[in-house]
Amino acid sequence: MQSMARDSPAASVARPASAGAGRGGDPYASRVGAFPERRQRLDPVLYGVPGDGDVLTPRQARAFRDDGYLVLAGLLSEKRVGALSAEMRRLFEDPGLRHREETITEPGSDVTRSVFRIHELCPVFRALARDPVLLDIARFILGDDVYLHQSRLNYKPGFDGREFYWHSDFETWHVEDGMPRMRAVSMSVLLSDNHEFNGPLMLVPGSHWVYLACVGETPEDHYKRSLKRQEYGVPDRENLSALIEEGGIAVPKGPAGSVIVFDCNMMHGSNGNITPYPRSNAFFVYNACSNRLVAPFGGRKPRPAFLAHRDFAPLRPL
């Protein structure tokens, strides 16, 4: 793990933020004002008590609370990673999936960028989403039973993998899906080695304490374009620069089988991949059952179920 230009504690990121309620009393209203706005997070980050149980060590729990992310190196066995990788390749090479709505290609090409709803498309990914270790971590962090808000494969092939611009997932999930509060957690399961060269995930430690309300009214069916290149719900450069000055940039690295756990409001992104080395991961979003989706706060119709599941039944381990 590398961090750049970080001189202050993570918790200090929240201090300059406004606690304004936003439009209509919604504390996380976004894309409604003429100017971007920086607001204070109003929800807990960690609901579990550090040292209570053996899901995470006290040090890991505090690190997640303060920094907003955690790297669990080598959590999956080499054999299991091999099986998952084989299924990933099958999905990306399946011509029957190429034109389905769950498959997203890179801008301007037919190279696959993401495949969504993998927990329903493949038994091995269904089992991974219900892995007892992953579920226990999610339930500990969120203090509740959880359901799967979203699942996908992200594939960044050598030479052709494009960037994912900086963003907070919660901003989109709130505005476009109707996720009420910041009580969700993301898990990126590495299916290939992640190193500094192949466009790894970049995180801004401590940025989860701040909510950046964005500008620009959301177009109808925005997801059809945003999954290739997001133009609404992205941070302005001034506030993004301030977050990075305060928290720095962390680049979690690790071998295939590692898991990166990060808060739903974490500012993150990744560069393009111009190396021969592909970068791929399976991505699962666990939402607290008490935080189930309502009507989108942005006033548009809900995004389709392959992006925002509305089956709120608690997940049980397989």
Q: Are 108 and 162 in contact (CB under 8 A)?
A: no
Greater model confidence, 91 or 225 = 91
pLDDT over 50 (residue 6): no
Give residue 157's pLDDT. 73
DSSP secondary structure letters along the chain: -EEES--S-GGGGGTT-B----GGG-TT--S-BSS-EEEE--S-S--SPTTSSSSS-HHHHHHHHHHSEEEETT-S-HHHHHHHHHHHHHHHH-TTTTTSTTEEEPTTS--EEEEE-HHHH-HHHHHHHT-HHHHHHHHHHHTS-EEEEEEEEEEE-TTTBPPEEEEEHHHHIIIII---SS-EEEEEEESS-B-TTS--EEE-TTGGGEEEE-BSPPPTTTHHHHTTS--SS---HHHHHHHHHHH-EEE--B-TT-EEEEETT-EEEE--B-SS--EEEEEEEEEEGGG---S-TTSSPPPPTTTS----PPP---
Give residue 110's pLDDT. 74
Mean pLDDT throughout 153-172? Answer: 84
pLDDT digits 0-9 by tens, 233-272: 889 999 999 999 999 999 998 999 999 999 999 999 988 8
Lowest mean pLDDT, pick from 1-15, 39-53, 205-219, 241-255: 1-15
Q: Supply the mean pLDDT for the chain.
A: 87
pLDDT over 80 (residue 285): yes
Length of the chain: 318
Nearest to residue 41, comparing CAs of 219, 289, 243?
A: 243
Give residue 1's pLDDT. 43
Domains located in the chain, CATH noted = 2-167+176-269+283-291 (2.60.120.620)
